[in-house]
Amino acid sequence: MKTATRSRLAVIALVASAVFLSVCGRASNQTASPVASASTNFVYLDLAGDPKPVHRFRMYAEDEFEDAGLALTNDPKQASVTVSVELSSDSRTTEIGNGLVEIVATAGGVKTDLTQCGSSTSDPNGAVFDSGAKSAAAEIHNKFPTAHSVYIDEASNFDAAPEFKAAFESALRNDRVEISESKAADVVTTMRLERRKLSVEETVVNYHIEIVRSGNPDVENSSGVRSAKLVGELPKSCSGSLDDLSWLESNSVPDVVRRIAHNISTGRPK
């Protein structure tokens, strides 16, 4: 009995040994995946200039280039593409256009201020009341749901946008409300439009970019707005709507980095 048991144990040991050797043999034949394949497009990035935008450029480049299937290298001899960027910063003062719609509505002898902020535009002479008429009419409807007639006081001033009055009247009329010619109307509105030109300080980033592929350089000189803020005396009305001027930003560092990465990966010019 003991001899049979020892024989079975020996067989089990031999089988286990064979399995172990087989696994080791397969493992020894496998090789580690290379970090970069032979088709990887290596890019050498040479940045110079203002430290802050340079830091931002490099930070975004690490992510955007990787997402585009590119690999950054510190060895210019390994690179198939060299991107040289010189960045500088300065500031400039410009003007934006901003609208204000002052509305005082009187009903039952009680005056209500319904002043609204118009829109803003990078063109100081641009349209800033484009949606104001509909918005003002909607405010009258909401504030006075039982009113059937509205009179626009002759003291109103629409000089800043003469077309506003007709648009306001058109938006105000419906099955319930009519425009009255009498001050005895349910609601009397006095309106004044103000077009404001506001000073803005913009922080500008200037780019000098050279992209060299196969010895052929593509050169670009451009600039973009990194940030903007109001300067001088702030308007008393609707100043809160001007706290965020990010809509003035253009051709920012992330935009430029993303565009360069995309163009290199697709083989397009800068």
CA torsion, points 245, 248, 253, 257, in degrees to nearest 10? 130
Count, residues in the chain: 270
Sequence ranges of the domains in the chain: 41-93+202-230+245-266, 97-197
Average pLDDT, stretch 212-234? 90
pLDDT in tens, 27-51: 333 323 234 454 578 999 999 999 9
Average pLDDT, the chain: 86
Which of 226, 149, 229 shows the shortest CA–CA distance to 187? 149
- If you average pLDDT over residues 136-141, what whole number do you get? 96
- The 10s digit of each residue's pLDDT in 171-196 is 999 989 999 999 999 999 999 999 99
Q: Which helix (H) or strand (E) holds 132?
A: helix 132-143
Q: How far is CA 64 from the centre of its chain?
A: 16
Q: What is the pTM of this model?
A: 0.71
**Is the model's pLDDT at 239 over the cut of 90?**
no
Which 3 state secondary structure label does DSSP give 120? strand
CA distance 72 to 264: 12
Query: Residue 125 contacts by C-beta under 8 Å, 6 or more apart in sequence?
Result: 97
What's the pLDDT score for residue 229? 94
pLDDT tens track for 82-131? 999 999 999 999 999 999 999 999 999 999 999 999 999 999 999 999 88
**What CATH superfamily is the domain 41-93+202-230+245-266?**
Lipoprotein like domain (3.30.160.150)
pLDDT of res. 241: 82
Structure tokens at 184: 């005895």
**pLDDT tens digits for range 60-84:** 999 999 999 999 999 999 999 999 9
